[in-house]
A and B are shown apart, each in its own frame.
Chain A
């Protein structure tokens, strides 16, 4: 199939996953903020000190070698061109803030990109592990292991009372932010999201739409993460988030059952029409494609649309964004041209396998 090989080259492990609860949970992520003693935090850092942090990190990675974890490769941002940087952002491996730090920043990645470390973002190190489906405990174990390994080589700032120190006191303590990316079309279509999601703030969790601004969540994609980083252990926070996520998964599945029962053929019609549009459109914008993909994914997960791999849906969500799209097509494109090629990519990748 066309494009498949090119896509493979820029695919991250988190997009490839089948696994626990993968009909609702797309990915799990754990991020740890760490700083090195004796060097000012990145917002006050000089170029020399920024380079020092990168060198220390390179040295530490070399010393650790390849033991339990796959090895990391450090690349400074100045070595990457604009397109490569954009692709990393679209794959959620680095943040837009890291791009702003440009000359002072670097990123360390494993081959499969399940581990990424942002260097000199808001803190000296942001250790991040992303895995497919609901694997919060696994992601924590990997991030924790890397943190242990790095700590043997680097002097991390730690305060007896406040715990791990961070540039912003909202991260101090564990420095840990754990999150899950959820696909909740059922709760949205049954208009129950407004009842389920606001309750999360009561247990120290925050919810936001993954794409789109404000209350709107494009593609019915949500991210839920912990707000509190002090006074609770990492395991408590992870278990709390995993437990709540399981509850939301149950609600979402219930909503889907209700939809099927109440709407019947009307639901089938709606989802197949979305498929039809994606399969035959000649021009499509990111926003439209995201919401149609959500419908098709729902169809696949509910076994209404057969013969499509749900993983292709996750992959497309990332690959149809401007940076990835230009890489796949091997050319620079303006917004109008991207709409044409986005439609082409979707048509190709959504062909149903009849064999």
Chain B
């Protein structure tokens, strides 16, 4: 009988494992058995990305904790029903609206991960339409200020009308 793992040395150790009622047997040589030994512990370190995330939440909680803690943990997203507590444990949000519901708690966490909590990349044409209008308004307001300072009142009036139009659209 050769070792079932290396198939080179004679088997010397007989390992019987019962996991969830299912029995498995292994016949191994001394060397392979020593290697396997470490793997037979029924323990997985829960050191995942999600765990790391939860530790970030703990810090975030301690820095923005004017609201009573217990109340905050129970905070719930109206759309998907996910609680803040659940989110802390899994590191995953439930739906689009969670980003609004948990905005104040999310900001510091996202800043810790990315160094910023403001998206500066691509904006989708349709879902991001209001944002594009908003950015346009901000830009026009800047121009308006400059025009007033330069006493270009005619152009300023034009910019003001444009802002008004855009604001009505929103």
Contact = CB atoms under 8 A, between A and B. Distances in A.
Interface of A: 35, 37-41, 43-44, 122, 144, 147-148, 151-152, 155-170, 172-174, 176, 228-234, 336
A255 B91 CA distance: 41
Contacts of A155: 126-127
Contacts of B100: 159
B31 interface: no
State which size class the interface on B falls in: 35 or more
Nearest to A176: B121
B115 interface: yes
B99 interface: yes
B139 interface: no
Contact of A164 (B98, B117, B119): B119
Contacts of A35: 96
B110 interface: yes
Q: Is the interface of A mostly helix, strand, loop or mixed?
A: loop
Contact of B99 (A151, A165, A232): A165
Contact of A161 (B49, B118, B126): B118
B114 A231 contact: yes
B121 A169 contact: no
A122 B128 CA distance: 23
B80 interface: yes
Contacts of B106: 162, 169
Contact of B53 (A44, A161, A170): A170
Contacts of A157: 95-96, 127
A150 B77 CA distance: 28
Interface string B105-131: 010011001111111111111111011
A336 B7 contact: yes
Nearest to A34: B124
B117 A162 contact: yes
A168 B80 contact: no
26 contacts: A43-B92, A44-B94, A144-B122, A151-B124, A152-B126, A156-B124, A162-B110, A162-B117, A164-B119, A168-B93, A169-B93, A172-B119, A173-B114, A173-B121, A174-B119, A174-B121, A174-B122, A228-B113, A228-B114, A228-B115, A230-B110, A230-B114, A230-B116, A230-B117, A230-B119, A230-B120
Contacts of B125: 148, 151-152
Given A163-B119, A173-B119, A176-B121, A168 B126 contact: no
Contacts of B91: 168-169
Q: Which 10 A-B pairs have the closest CB atoms?
A: A163-B119, A231-B116, A157-B96, A230-B114, A174-B121, A158-B127, A233-B121, A40-B80, A159-B99, A173-B119
Given A43-B92, A167-B93, A173-B114, A151 B119 contact: no
A122 B94 CA distance: 11
Contacts of B90: 43
A63 to B, nearest CB: 14
Given A162-B99, A170-B53, A231-B115, A41 B93 contact: yes
Given A160-B131, A170-B113, A44 B95 contact: yes
A262 to B, nearest CB: 35
Contacts of A234: 121-122
Nearest to B122: A234
Interface string B56-71: 0000000000000000
Contacts of B76: none
Contact of B94 (A40, A151, A229): A40
Contact of B92 (A167, A174, A229, A230): A167
Nearest to A122: B92
A166 B92 CA distance: 9
